Amino acid sequence: MNLPPSAQLQLTETGELRHFLSIDGLPKTLLERILDTANSFVVVGNQEVKKVPLLRGKTVVNLFFENSTRTRSTFELAAQRLSADVLNLDINTSATSKGESLLDTLRNLRAMHSDMFVVRHSQSGAAHFIAQQVTPNVAIINAGDGRHAHPTQAMLDMLTIYRHKASFDQLKVAIVGDILHSRVARDQVHALTTLGCQDVRLIGPNTLLPTAAEELGVTTYNDLDKGLEDVDVIIMLRLQTERMDSAFLPSASEYYQAYGLTRQRLCKAKSDAIVMHPGPINRGIEIESEVADGEQSLILNQVGYGIAIRMAVMSMAMSGQMQQRQIMEANQ
């Protein structure tokens, strides 16, 4: 199968998911399959017994070099609902904080016969590096790396849209805020354009917009009111204060005056527009509480959909790894 370089590491020879590192380069058919699989898992949370046996006997290691309670807990819950055994590695007290190299840590985890690593790291490309270093039968899921990618967050956003709107190609989607420092925004753009969305808008001050954004097939706006006109979906982003310095913004209050989503500004969008936010929310900075808690907000829905997406990705990657192993054994 002829795959783009960005997808070769992630997919098997037959195009099945093997690792999930970024959206960039993945085919539309695969993204649609992830959405369909996740959609079937949404109901699991409503069942009396909230488990399916797809990863029974498998060991999933949450390898978080950067804190994120929300992401880690949803990955843990997703693995448990798939009946996997879960190991949460506390990096702050692990051997890596005592001088052990990342490769040595990986080798020790491989020796424990782990089947999947869920990796979150502050350095861009860390998940790709780990995927290149582990043995072929260990699946790597990127839970966020630096300013590069956060594919499961982007896909849970796509699932939210998928469940509440019509086909992607008819939608106008606005992504608002600190796009420059946001790893999820990059994957959101790749996912939206791959799924057929023809009108993706990036809205923010020039200091928080990536250069050459138009090459991604999007339109940029500095004026929030103009950018929100007639849109179907509004995705607000958190100000990534830990990844920027004061030179990017004059102040949080001035940012809210120019780019905060208020009830008045929401009226610029279509009357049935949905409002999303990857969380955690900075109320009164990115979004007004009345909007965050309003009828058009799907922010809490996104949390539940995140579990379903992560179940889908983990089960598909494990299946792909097993298929790849069979191909390698057959070729020996």
Whether residues 247 and 316 share a domain: the answer is no
68 and 171 belong to one structural domain: no
Instruction: Quote the Cα angle for 323-307-47, to 5°.
Output: 100
Answer yes or no: do 271 and 312 share one domain: no
Whether 234 contacts 274, CB under 8 Å:
yes
Q: Which of 131-145, 183-197, 236-250 has the highest mean pLDDT?
A: 183-197
The CATH number of the domain holding residue 88 is 3.40.50.1370
21 and 143 in a single domain? The answer is yes
Q: Do 24 and 60 share a structural domain?
A: yes
Q: Are residues 316 and 244 in the same domain?
A: no
Going by their DSSP bridges, the two strands 116-121 and 172-176 should be labelled as unpaired
Q: Same domain for 136 and 165?
A: no
What is the number of other CB atoms lying within 10 angstroms of the CB of residue 123? 14
Q: Which domain holds residue 68?
A: 5-150+304-331
pLDDT in tens, 187-200: 999 999 999 999 99
Give per-residue pLDDT as tens, 257-309: 999 999 999 999 999 999 999 888 889 989 999 999 999 999 999 999 999 99
Query: How many folded domains does the chain comprise?
Result: 2
Question: Per residue in 19-72, pLDDT tens?
Answer: 999 999 999 999 999 999 999 999 998 888 889 999 999 999 999 888 778 889
- Which helix or strand (DSSP H or E) is residue 88 part of? strand 85-90
Q: Return the higher-pLDDT residue of 155 and 132.
A: 155
Residues 199 and 264 in one domain: yes
Same domain, 169 and 90: no
Do 320 and 268 lie in one domain? The reply is: no
Domain shared by 128 and 185, yes or no: no
Same-domain status, 21 and 99: yes
